[in-house]
Amino acid sequence: MITANILVKYDAACKAIAIAKSADEAKDIHDRADAMRIYARQSKNRQGEIDMAEIRMRAERRLGELITAQKETVGLAPAGRPRKIGSDEEPISRKARDSYGIKLFLKNFHKKF
Protein backbone atom coordinates (compact mmCIF):
# COMPACT_ATOMS: atom_id res chain seq x y z
CA MET A 1 0.00 0.00 0.00
CA ILE A 2 2.80 2.42 0.86
CA THR A 3 4.64 1.62 -2.37
CA ALA A 4 1.51 2.31 -4.42
CA ASN A 5 1.06 5.64 -2.64
CA ILE A 6 4.66 6.63 -3.37
CA LEU A 7 4.26 5.70 -7.05
CA VAL A 8 1.14 7.84 -7.31
CA LYS A 9 3.01 10.83 -5.86
CA TYR A 10 6.00 10.15 -8.14
CA ASP A 11 3.73 10.07 -11.20
CA ALA A 12 2.00 13.26 -10.05
CA ALA A 13 5.38 15.01 -9.75
CA CYS A 14 6.40 13.85 -13.23
CA LYS A 15 3.10 15.14 -14.66
CA ALA A 16 3.54 18.47 -12.86
CA ILE A 17 6.97 18.84 -14.46
CA ALA A 18 5.59 17.99 -17.89
CA ILE A 19 2.83 20.60 -17.70
CA ALA A 20 4.97 23.33 -16.11
CA LYS A 21 4.46 26.46 -18.22
CA SER A 22 6.87 28.84 -16.53
CA ALA A 23 10.41 28.71 -15.27
CA ASP A 24 9.17 29.55 -11.77
CA GLU A 25 6.98 26.43 -11.67
CA ALA A 26 9.84 24.20 -12.84
CA LYS A 27 12.25 25.82 -10.37
CA ASP A 28 9.75 25.33 -7.52
CA ILE A 29 9.42 21.62 -8.35
CA HIS A 30 13.22 21.36 -8.61
CA ASP A 31 13.71 22.96 -5.18
CA ARG A 32 11.07 20.78 -3.51
CA ALA A 33 12.53 17.61 -5.04
CA ASP A 34 15.99 18.59 -3.85
CA ALA A 35 14.71 19.19 -0.31
CA MET A 36 12.90 15.84 -0.31
CA ARG A 37 16.04 14.14 -1.62
CA ILE A 38 17.95 15.52 1.36
CA TYR A 39 15.22 14.33 3.76
CA ALA A 40 15.34 10.89 2.16
CA ARG A 41 19.11 10.80 2.60
CA GLN A 42 18.79 11.75 6.27
CA SER A 43 16.23 9.01 6.85
CA LYS A 44 18.45 6.52 4.96
CA ASN A 45 15.74 5.92 2.35
CA ARG A 46 17.91 5.05 -0.65
CA GLN A 47 15.05 4.51 -3.11
CA GLY A 48 13.38 7.77 -2.12
CA GLU A 49 16.67 9.58 -2.62
CA ILE A 50 17.06 8.10 -6.09
CA ASP A 51 13.48 8.97 -7.03
CA MET A 52 13.82 12.56 -5.86
CA ALA A 53 17.13 12.94 -7.70
CA GLU A 54 15.40 11.75 -10.88
CA ILE A 55 12.52 14.20 -10.40
CA ARG A 56 15.06 16.96 -9.79
CA MET A 57 16.87 16.11 -13.03
CA ARG A 58 13.58 16.08 -14.95
CA ALA A 59 12.76 19.50 -13.53
CA GLU A 60 16.21 20.79 -14.55
CA ARG A 61 15.68 19.46 -18.05
CA ARG A 62 12.24 21.11 -18.27
CA LEU A 63 13.69 24.36 -16.93
CA GLY A 64 16.30 24.26 -19.70
CA GLU A 65 13.57 23.71 -22.29
CA LEU A 66 11.58 26.66 -20.96
CA ILE A 67 14.64 28.94 -20.95
CA THR A 68 15.50 27.92 -24.53
CA ALA A 69 11.92 28.58 -25.64
CA GLN A 70 11.97 32.00 -23.98
CA LYS A 71 15.33 32.81 -25.57
CA GLU A 72 13.95 32.02 -29.03
CA THR A 73 10.71 33.97 -28.60
CA VAL A 74 11.04 37.07 -26.40
CA GLY A 75 14.69 36.89 -25.41
CA LEU A 76 16.42 36.86 -22.06
CA ALA A 77 16.99 39.74 -19.69
CA PRO A 78 20.50 41.21 -19.68
CA ALA A 79 22.69 39.66 -17.02
CA GLY A 80 24.32 41.45 -14.14
CA ARG A 81 24.08 44.90 -12.67
CA PRO A 82 24.23 48.04 -14.78
CA ARG A 83 27.69 49.47 -15.32
CA LYS A 84 28.84 52.08 -12.83
CA ILE A 85 29.76 55.51 -14.11
CA GLY A 86 31.96 57.83 -12.07
CA SER A 87 35.10 57.62 -10.05
CA ASP A 88 36.10 54.74 -7.85
CA GLU A 89 35.40 56.87 -4.78
CA GLU A 90 31.93 57.94 -5.92
CA PRO A 91 30.48 55.44 -8.38
CA ILE A 92 27.03 56.20 -9.70
CA SER A 93 24.95 54.06 -12.03
CA ARG A 94 23.96 55.46 -15.40
CA LYS A 95 20.28 55.04 -14.51
CA ALA A 96 20.69 56.98 -11.25
CA ARG A 97 22.73 59.69 -12.97
CA ASP A 98 20.07 60.15 -15.63
CA SER A 99 17.28 60.21 -13.04
CA TYR A 100 19.05 63.04 -11.19
CA GLY A 101 19.48 64.96 -14.46
CA ILE A 102 23.29 65.01 -14.25
CA LYS A 103 24.88 65.53 -17.63
CA LEU A 104 27.94 63.46 -18.47
CA PHE A 105 30.20 66.47 -19.02
CA LEU A 106 29.07 68.04 -15.71
CA LYS A 107 29.74 64.91 -13.71
CA ASN A 108 33.45 65.64 -13.24
CA PHE A 109 33.23 69.42 -13.62
CA HIS A 110 33.99 70.04 -9.94
CA LYS A 111 37.35 68.28 -10.27
CA LYS A 112 38.71 70.99 -12.58
CA PHE A 113 38.77 73.59 -9.79
Q: What is the pLDDT along the chain (113 residues), one digit of tens a residue?
A: 455 666 677 788 888 888 888 888 888 888 888 888 898 899 898 988 888 899 888 888 888 888 888 888 887 777 777 665 666 666 666 666 666 665 655 555 556 55
CB 83 within 8 A of CB 98: no
Q: How far is Cα 111 from Cα 86, in angstroms, rounded to an integer? A: 12
CB 82 within 8 A of CB 95: yes
Residue 94: its H or E element: helix 94-100
Give me the pLDDT at residue 88, please. 63
Q: How far is Cα 57 from Cα 68, in angstroms, rounded to an integer? A: 17
CB 107 within 8 A of CB 97: yes
Centroid of chain to Cα 54: 19
Q: How far is Cα 111 from Cα 113, in angstroms, rounded to an integer? A: 6
Q: How far is Cα 63 from Cα 20, in angstroms, rounded to an integer? A: 9
Neighbouring CB atoms inside 10 A of 36's CB total 20
pTM for this entry: 0.59
Give me the pLDDT at residue 1, please. 47
